[in-house]
Amino acid sequence: MSGLALPAFDRLLGEGRRVVVTWVPCHPSSSRRRGYNQAEVLARALAAGSGDLPAVELAAKVRRTAGQRSLDRARRQGNLQGAFVALPERDGGRELGGQAPDGIVLVDDVYTTGATVQEVATVLAGSTGLPIRVFTFARTLAPLSAGVA
């Protein structure tokens, strides 16, 4: 996935950007069940492939939430409220070779309604004061009309 996504990721970064890469966290129980967080794996690979950018865990999911798959945008937003917190012990990657970063890139695997990345980005922006850019591997399309296959 990272090999396919790297050209678009590099375009998002542009020239001379000093960013920290982070990911949408999953609840610890999900990480244990799966054995990994797919957004973290993708974020770390993209950071390494883009010149060894810092990949830093900046947020945690502290509340289990209902599955998002069957929820519309409004219900997804409500489901996620208060589920994520910034990790205060992290420095936000504030030092990049002696220079402060000028932003954070938040990575997720799939963008459906944007509710998840919006919630995490809001938490990160509030804790770091840095602008947040979102990068996802894929985006879901609107449902097909009835009778269309």
108: which strand partners? 136
Confidence of residue 149 (pLDDT cuts 50, 70, 90): very low
pTM given for the model: 0.82
Confidence of residue 148 (pLDDT cuts 50, 70, 90): very low
The percent of residues in the chain predicted with pLDDT above 70, rounded, is 77
Q: Cα 109 from chain centroid? A: 8
- Mean pLDDT for the stretch of residues 38-66: 90
pLDDT tens, position by position, 64-83: 765 655 555 566 666 677 88
Average pLDDT, the chain: 81
68 contacts 112 by C-beta, under 8 angstroms: yes
**Domain boundaries, given as residue ranges, for the chain:** 2-139
- Mean pLDDT for the stretch of residues 21-44: 88
Q: Please give the residue that has the higher pLDDT: either 16 or 54.
A: 54
Q: How far apart are CA 80 and CA 66, in angstroms?
A: 9
- Mean pLDDT for the stretch of residues 23-28: 88
CATH number, span 2-139: 3.40.50
Rg of the chain over all Cα atoms, to the nearest angstrom:
16
Q: Please give the residue that has the higher pLDDT: either 98 or 60.
A: 60
